[in-house]
Amino acid sequence: MIPEVGGGAAFAALALAVWGAVAAAVGGRTGRVALVESAQHAALAVFVLVTACFALLTYAFLAFDFSVRYVATNTNLGTPFYYRITGVWGALEGSIILWTWMLALFTLLVILRHRESARELYPWVLTVMLAVIGFFLLVMTVAAPPFERLTPAPANGRGLNPLLEDTGMITHPVALYLGFTGLTVPFAFALAALIAGRVGDAWITMTRRWTIVAWYFLSLGLLIGGWWSYHVLGWGGYWAWDPVENAAFMPWLTATAFLHSVMIQERRRMLKLWNIALVILTFGLTLFGTFLTRSGVIASVHAFTQGTIGILFLSFLAVVLLTALGLLAWRWDALRAQGELDSIVSRESAFLLNNVLLVAATFTVFFGTVFPLLSEAARGVKVSVGAPFFNQVNVPLFLSLVFLMGVGPLIAWRRASPDNLRRNFVLPVAAGVLAAAAFFTLGVRSALALLALALTVFVAGTIAVDVVRATRARLRMGERVLPALGGLLLRHNRRYGGFVVHLGILIITLGVTGSHAWSVQTETTLRRGEAAELAGYRVRFDGLTATEESNHFKVAGTFTVSNGRVVGVLRPAKKFYPQEQSPIAYVDYRLGLKEDVYLVLGDFARDGSQATVKVQVNRLVSWIWIGGLVLTLGTLLAILPERKKAA
């Protein structure tokens, strides 16, 4: 029953999406309002139908309906309740439903918000949104149908990939997909602007919040992915430059570039062409990411199954890029800049440099990611480039970006006077230099770490200079400190939201620097009662315990960790799932602001007499997650409705 109803709903939604896209386009061209309204109704119906598909599949998971192939593949009778819900989007077919559903939701929100305000662009926006939904529905009906029937229906299912049995997997895909799908909105507006020939600032103003929100969810998705990798995968890191991580990181880089470059267009009427190109690139990269994860072209730990779906995604990517860039070339004359760069020492040029660096980083990541393909095409050998390549190329780029993060917001527009530079940068530069000297005397010898710390302090200094100066100005008006500060943040929420986001990035930079420069690890085999020592910690092996869990068998080691006093008892484990060839590691850790103690269980003797354990002391990693929280606060501040400026 469920397979037929679900499949039918998907087909109906596909037909409606196609109709809606065409109707909106014809309506936009001829000005026939009735057609646009019909497209609106189609969008609403698509949303209802996709929601129904999503609900049906969720129900099939909860009810263990193994006659649905997708359910049988991704759950079994032992799968706990929560993971039966997350199992819905744990693999290819369900992830496409979630993706389509979010697109339909965003389309609905666009209709509610911009129906009246974006008259000329609106029909075309609707066309683009519905066309993208139509493509995903095509994938859902043709290449990856989630409602396929499995006969004979098995008595039990295969079970979810055990690595996905984690709370991070509830939120990570959701956040990431919200980011990816959210970026469809600015893309739709950019394309609409090109088609309608209205390439002014309207589309940018209207999509500002959309872009920030999508960017935020993308950031959140990346951070949660890092957290998942850190505490589930058990190799002690949070970022591996895996192709799929890169696939999510590239649109983040270009979206970050876009968030900055739009400010130049708003202020100086420059970069119209560049901004549209960035949005197209960003959307293209989100598709490229989906292509990469789902085509199996580049092997990755994340790779979903392969099949016709890859060809479908590549064709869509081709259509999108050729159409969008073709439109760009067509509107070339209208897109040429009106403003001009007055001086190298100005905010415009700082932002431009920021953009160049971000796009350069995108290209290096792209190059590294597709390198196996390139080398195979050119030389017939599959060679991957690993973390060393990415780090070597990107670390200088990112440190330069951190530097610009201090310069950009404070330097004057057009042409910075020596006085402007002195007023804003003397103190922060001094603070940065002092910090480097202080860390050097404290024993930090890594030049890279010193540079990163100095830059972090410098940027924090520029933020402090700005906030202190602006607060002082308010104090002179007779306000008290806290109200002055609060008023500042709320009145100029866009600027100070940006500052808070920068602060979040600085904190993340600190965590990344610390974890790279100062983390230590050791791997050793211990007999029961023996202890290993690392960085002031004693890790004593107290024995093994074995337990039968609902869907797996678990062997856990007991380790007492102390540094003078007992820090805690950690129980890293290996989980044996019947459907998996090799056991899954379960790491245990104590998180701290200064450092994390992190244990991974290796081989062990069956009688529990000895076990191999990897002990890591990871420095400052927690600040990465704290930085994520700060980033969240900053984003919230930045998207608050702008207040009327007080007279």
Partner 1 sequence: MNRRVWRWLIPLSAIPVLALLAYGFRVNPREVPSPLVGRPAAAFTLTTFDGAPLSLEAQRGKVVVVNFWASWCYPACYEEAPVLERNWRRYRDRGVVVIGVDIQDTVEAAQKFIRDFDLTFPNVRDATGKVSVDYGVYGVPETFFVDRQGRIRAKHVGAVTDEVFRRHVDRLLGDTAG
Residues that bind partner 1 (CB under 8 A): 69, 72-73, 76, 150, 152, 154-159, 277, 288, 291, 295-299, 306, 310-311, 314, 317-318, 321-322, 325-326, 328-329, 332, 370, 373-374, 376-377, 382, 578-579, 581
Query: How far is residue 46 CA from its own chain's centroid?
Result: 27
Token digits of residue 589: 């850790």
- Nearer to partner 1 among residue 152 and residue 443 (C-beta): 152
Question: Measured from the CB of residue 299, what is the shortest distance to partner 1 in angstroms?
Answer: 7
Nearest to 448 by CA among 382, 515, 358: 515
Question: Measured from the CB of residue 189, what is the shortest distance to partner 1 in angstroms?
Answer: 20
DSSP codes joined into one string, 274-295: HHHHHHHHHHHHHHHHHHHHHH
Question: Measured from the CB of residue 5, what is the shortest distance to partner 1 in angstroms?
Answer: 21
Question: Measured from the CB of residue 250, what is the shortest distance to partner 1 in angstroms?
Answer: 13
Sign of CA dihedral 373, 379, 381, 385: negative
CA angle 45, 314, 17 (to 5 degrees): 10
- Nearer to partner 1 among residue 263 and residue 298 (C-beta): 298
Question: Measured from the CB of residue 334, what is the shortest distance to partner 1 in angstroms?
Answer: 12
- Nearer to partner 1 among residue 305 and residue 547 (C-beta): 305
- Nearer to partner 1 among residue 69 and residue 260 (C-beta): 69
Question: Measured from the CB of residue 138, what is the shortest distance to partner 1 in angstroms?
Answer: 19
Question: Measured from the CB of residue 72, what is the shortest distance to partner 1 in angstroms?
Answer: 5
Nearest to 639 by CA among 207, 177, 201: 207
- Nearer to partner 1 among residue 152 and residue 478 (C-beta): 152
598 - beta bridge partners? 589, 616
Question: Measured from the CB of residue 377, what is the shortest distance to partner 1 in angstroms?
Answer: 5
- Nearer to partner 1 among residue 299 and residue 520 (C-beta): 299
Beta strand ranges found along 163-309 (DSSP E)? none
- Nearer to partner 1 among residue 157 and residue 514 (C-beta): 157
Question: Measured from the CB of residue 80, what is the shortest distance to partner 1 in angstroms?
Answer: 18
Question: Measured from the CB of residue 303, what is the shortest distance to partner 1 in angstroms?
Answer: 9
Instruction: Tell me whether residue 44 is exposed, middle or buried, using C-beta atoms within 10 angstroms of its C-beta: 0 to 12, 13 to 18, 19 or more.
Output: middle
- Nearer to partner 1 among residue 314 and residue 633 (C-beta): 314
- Nearer to partner 1 among residue 92 and residue 174 (C-beta): 92
Beta strand ranges found along 102-243 (DSSP E)? none
- Nearer to partner 1 among residue 305 and residue 417 (C-beta): 305
Q: How crowded is the C-beta side of 550, counted as CA atoms within 13 Å?
A: 12
Question: Measured from the CB of residue 46, what is the shortest distance to partner 1 in angstroms?
Answer: 28
- Nearer to partner 1 among residue 157 and residue 461 (C-beta): 157
Helices 2-30 and 122-138 pack at an angle, to 10 degrees, of 150
- Nearer to partner 1 among residue 299 and residue 640 (C-beta): 299
Instruction: Tell me whether strands 588-590 and 520-527 are parallel, antiparallel or unpaired.
Output: unpaired
Taking a C-beta distance cutoff of 8 angstroms, is the pair 242, 181 a contact? Answer: no
Question: Measured from the CB of residue 152, what is the shortest distance to partner 1 in angstroms?
Answer: 5
Question: CA–CA separation, 572 vs 590, rounded Å?
Answer: 11
Question: CA–CA separation, 502 vs 499, rounded Å?
Answer: 5
- Nearer to partner 1 among residue 346 and residue 355 (C-beta): 355
H-helix or E-strand spanning residue 557: strand 553-563
Question: Measured from the CB of residue 517, what is the shortest distance to partner 1 in angstroms?
Answer: 36
| Residue 372 preceded by cis peptide, ω within 30 | no
SS3 percent helix, strand, coil of the chain, rounded to 5, is 65, 10, 25
DSSP codes joined into one string, 483-534: HHHHHHHHHTHHHHHHHHHHHHHHHHHHHHHHHHHH-EEEEEEEETT-EEEE
- Nearer to partner 1 among residue 309 and residue 539 (C-beta): 309
Question: CA–CA separation, 92 vs 74, rounded Å?
Answer: 10
Q: Which amino acid is it at 400?
A: S
Q: Within 10 Å of residue 303's Cβ, how many Cβ atoms?
A: 18
Nearest to 179 by CA among 291, 290, 318: 290
Token digits of residue 497: 């939201």
Question: Measured from the CB of residue 194, what is the shortest distance to partner 1 in angstroms?
Answer: 12
**DSSP SS3 for 381:** coil
Taking a C-beta distance cutoff of 8 angstroms, is the pair 354, 257 a contact? Answer: yes
**DSSP SS3 for 1:** coil
